[in-house]
Amino acid sequence: MNDINSFFQHFLNNIISNDWLFIPLFAACIFLFTYMTADRFIIFLYNKSIGQREEVIAIMDKMLLDVDKKKITRILLLISFGLGVIFFLAFWPNIIIGLIFGITITIVGWSLPKIILNSLWESRCNKVVSQMVDGLTIMSNGIKAGLSISQSLERVTINIKGPITQEFKLILNKIRLGMTVEDAFNEFGDRIPRPDVRMFVSSVNILKETGGNLAETFQTITLTIRDRQKVQKKIEAMTAQGMMQGVIITLVPFALLGIFLLVDPNYIKPLFSRPLGWFVLFLMLALQIIGGYSMKKIVTIDV
């Protein structure tokens, strides 16, 4: 066994010491690794770049915003690769730190617009649901007065301002262009995927086919939405302390880092000048992100 180990060790030493053998073998290994992982790497890059663009455009479509694909592509390139290059050049001639920060900023730059638009879209959906209380009250009164569903929707667009007006106007325009009432309302439910909205859409479609008292149904939906909002606000009040604790705990390490930078920069200089320090910084950021996300999931309760 010792002879075999000695033979392999001597063989590896000969290969490593001989550039004519080591360089071609190393290049062949790199080629094989690239050939085997190229498809996955290309798919990963596509999902983190152009794939994000398609999702951003889809979210903007749901928010009824004008979409210019070329302009969105340019903006995403500027805030991802553009900022990545700027950060890389800012750390020049320290190439390793520049690459780490440049790649990180590039990935964040591709993902940040989607996160921001998702937040805006969620806020818009919540506002639509909140406005449905007043909207369904107006529709219920209109149905009682003998108006049709389309006429009741038009009354809502006249008396209420906000995202629900945009949604109801779109429904009316599609009905006027020949789309069926069921399909127009189903698209509304797809754009605003909230239980209250889907309950409203299902009620309109079912009662339109089978017959029934739409006014009473709208009043029932209004009461359900109000009760759900009361519970949601109570939960938000009860979890506000946990949310604040999560924010404070997440920001404490960054605050301490800033204090040490002001008090004694040499004390934490190894974090930014040595590979072990870079690894510790990366590990800290990763754990902070995981911890913050976990705490947010814990204190977020869906009603």
pLDDT at 49: 62
Higher local confidence (pLDDT), 14 or 128: 128
Structure tokens at 243: 């949310």
Which residue blocks in the chain are alpha helix, DSSP H? 2-17, 19-48, 50-62, 69-77, 83-90, 95-144, 149-159, 163-176, 181-191, 195-210, 214-263, 269-273, 275-299
Q: What's the CA gap between 213 and 168, in Å, rounded?
A: 21
Q: Is pTM, for the whole model, over 0.75?
A: no
Cβ contacts of 227 within 8 Å, gap of 6 or more: none
Mean pLDDT for the chain overall: 77
Q: How crowded is residue 76: how many other Cβ atoms within 10 Å of its Cβ?
A: 21
Structure tokens at 160: 């209420």
Confidence of residue 208 (pLDDT cuts 50, 70, 90): confident
Confidence of residue 17 (pLDDT cuts 50, 70, 90): low
Q: What's the CA gap between 112 and 134, in Å, rounded?
A: 34
Higher local confidence (pLDDT), 7 or 6: 6
Q: What's the CA gap between 106 and 145, in Å, rounded?
A: 58
pLDDT at 115: 82
Share of the chain above pLDDT 70, in %: 81
